[in-house]
Chains A and B, each alone.
Chain A
């Protein structure tokens, strides 16, 4: 199965977090907007790679989430996210269930440092959403179809209505495997 990353060029606000997340796949241009590398030259993420988990579970939430967090708290929030994700394994039951809003709620409940979220806000610029094209494939083993496809489903149970990802992991229909 081949997956492609797509950027929503309208919603993207050049925070550049995606490039931190997937440095092998995403570069930033001189204005800070993501350039998706050609998947064939990028190193596919292995299932054990922490970033694979981030990609599969959180990439679509990532930018949206970044837009909701006040600038000064970004670093702390990113660390929180990484810590939470690093505790997950691919076979974890929570793998597919965990979505960012749930994470944020958990963080807030556990008195984690002030990550704030306004679920509403995203909606206006999001309904015009989504995507152009772009490349970048990352190949992974075909055995994990069920977990990865369900987790890359855009509308996870906890996503607010009208919510759309900025960067979306989509299955390339043209793909063989």
Chain B
């Protein structure tokens, strides 16, 4: 764990200097530039006039037109689950009561900074998406939810939102910076006046969400894509990406690369190619953590895997919120996993028993293995059993993510694991964490 409480790579991460707030995000110049076109062209976020000149006026769609268009485009949510956006839109459009539209820009995943980058580089594209969807669905209100703080983007976004005079005013709401706080049901709970903790579903937010109204919760990148699809059409959207996952993805890349940052790539770009856009690995890479801290380890041998949900799953990993963290060969994957799971355990809302008790137990077992302690073998046996116990037994996916991360670690670092179990932990087991653990 990083004792200083700062991001260990902070010094090497270029900061954008066009906005008052610091951010870890750096938008590298990617091959395709859709979401980040304005930033790529001007090196700064477009103001409203430039934005409208660059992208053209925002079309007005009816609910049916919107659902059909998004369906034709094959857009999948960019918040991690990859659920077809048109299905969610349809669920809300079919309700009689006027819905609430929530744009989720909280980015609970600590390894991800793509939403921060998007708000930084293309705020008007996000606001376009919210406006278009809110208008089409006849929403009673629209909320842009962000993790705010003293230096956060809140004030700037409120100013930008106020400039637009859209038909449905967009309220910008700060949400506590906790891992689970931006999970869909937690966000709805918070925006309805409750604590920012997950609730059991059903009822799904699309049935009963903020203030009891049917609620569409979409990631801000998803909404920004909708703003572009509405202007350019579904066939244009499908020109990039794969049939199953059309369009571009914002990918956060950190860890053992030369220039950590956010890149926009066509879906289906390989893990290797995405890492190359960040200057390539800064050393020999043994594995890549994909999908964030509740994601999965991808072995270096699978580095040619395309960035799609299906391909990553088939490789035993996960796309999730696209995040790639290459682990250099000198670092201990098991020790890193132990710390990550400890972090996830600390992020538990403490509501569900298997998460509340299970994650600390899993973290302790992993720590015992990482340390190569005398108990390591027993810890390993317990761990295998406990992974089954925590999976699928929480209200949200936090325990599932922690279990998946752990399982893939045991697979990908299996040679290491044997050494640790026989009392020969690697030299790097006690070395500090190389991934960021702090919330911004």
Contacts and interface: CB of A to CB of B under 8 A. Distances in A.
B200 A9 contact: yes
Which range holds the interface residue count of chain A?
Answer: 20 to 34
Contacts, number: 59
A43 to B, nearest CB: 22
B393 interface: yes
Given A9-B354, A29-B354, A33-B353, A128 B392 contact: no
B199 interface: yes
Given A33-B353, A128-B200, A9 B393 contact: yes
A10 B199 contact: yes
A30 B394 CA distance: 16
B61 interface: no
Interface string A81-114: 0000000000000000000000000000000000
A10 B395 contact: yes
Contacts of A130: 200-203
Contact of B352 (A10, A30, A133, A134): A10
A132 B200 contact: yes
A49 to B, nearest CB: 27
Interface in B407-423: none
Given A10-B200, A129-B199, A131-B201, A31 B395 contact: no
Contacts of B203: 130
B353 A30 contact: no
Interface in B376-410: 386, 389, 392-395
A32 B353 contact: yes
Nearest to B394: A9
Given A9-B393, A10-B200, A35-B389, A128 B189 contact: yes
B21 interface: no
Contact of A8 (B194, B198, B200, B386): B200
A81 B203 CA distance: 30
Interface residues of B, number: 20
B200 A129 contact: yes
A17 to B, nearest CB: 14
Contacts of A31: 353-354, 357-358
Contacts of B353: 9, 12, 14, 29, 31-33
Contacts of B19: none
A133 B392 contact: yes
Interface in A5-25: 7-12, 14
Task: Give me the 6 closest cross-chain CB pairs, A-B, nearest first.
Answer: A128-B199, A9-B352, A33-B353, A31-B357, A10-B351, A130-B200
22 contacts: A9-B353, A9-B393, A10-B199, A10-B352, A11-B200, A29-B353, A29-B389, A31-B353, A31-B354, A32-B353, A33-B353, A33-B354, A35-B393, A128-B189, A128-B194, A128-B199, A130-B201, A132-B200, A132-B392, A132-B394, A132-B395, A134-B392
Given A10-B200, A129-B200, A132-B394, 19 more contacts: A7-B393, A9-B353, A9-B354, A10-B199, A10-B351, A10-B395, A12-B352, A14-B353, A29-B353, A30-B389, A31-B353, A32-B353, A33-B353, A35-B393, A128-B189, A130-B203, A132-B392, A132-B395, A134-B393
